[in-house]
Amino acid sequence: MTRRLAPLLVLAGMLIPASAAAADLDASVFAGAGARFCAGDTSTIGSLRGVFEVAPLLSVAVGVDGYLDAPRPDSHIAFAGWQAGLQVELPVPGLLTPELGLAYGRVNLLEDRHGVDATVALVHAEIALRGDLGPVKARLAWAQPVWSADAGTSERGLQSQLTFSLGVGL
């Protein structure tokens, strides 16, 4: 399933910024790290995220995550999941912009990390604060699943996630 979605995500990653630029809408790219909290464990994750404005205060966000803390010394960065969804900026005065989001995605569970080899579909809600200084952006986000195709299994890989990211507006 992931192999079939990867080309679509790459294509969307190329087309959406081009259409946003043509329509004079903002696009941003973020890279970050944080903690993924799950049943009986906390994992360090890395995150790449593209955000593409589709209307004032409304954006489409696409992201991928990887496990940065290898369970064994000979391990590599393992794919932790992906998500795509909508986020709304709340128009409040000040230096920080609150964001609310809802996304569909997949959580990847690994045998040596979670005791099961599975990929589980879920919908998660996200609340974030973003600060902008020219083209440079900083973002702190908290995400938590609100629906899962298999709640018992998905809790082994994701109960909530806290991510700090730095980005640039394009």
Q: Can you read off the two tokens belonging to residue 61?
A: 């966000």
Q: Quick check: 5 pLDDT over 80?
A: no
Question: What's the whole-model pTM score?
Answer: 0.81
What is the DSSP-derived secondary structure letter of residue 44? E
Q: Which of 25, 104, 110 is nearest to 66 (CA)?
A: 110
pLDDT in the model for residue 18: 52
Q: Quick check: 90 pLDDT over 90?
A: yes
* Mean pLDDT on 35-48: 90
Least confident of 9-13, 76-80, 98-102, 148-152: 9-13
Neighbour count for residue 141 (Cβ, 10 Å): 24
Count of domains observed in the chain: 1
Q: Which residue has the higher pLDDT, 18 or 83?
A: 83
> First-to-last CA distance in the chain?
31
pLDDT in the model for residue 2: 47
Range of the domain at 23: 2-169
Contact between 26 and 17 under an 8 Å Cβ cutoff? The reply is: no
Q: Which of 114, 107, 99 is nearest to 60 (CA)?
A: 99
* Mean pLDDT on 77-93: 93
Which CATH number does the domain housing residue 39 bear?
A: 2.40.160.20
Read off the amino acid at residue 138.
A
Which residue has tokens 């790459």?
A: 10
pLDDT in the model for residue 1: 45
* Mean pLDDT on 15-21: 51
pLDDT in the model for residue 25: 77
Give residue 20's pLDDT band: very low, low, confident or very high (50, 70, 90): very low
Top-ranked range on mean pLDDT: pick from 6-20, 97-111, 142-156: 97-111
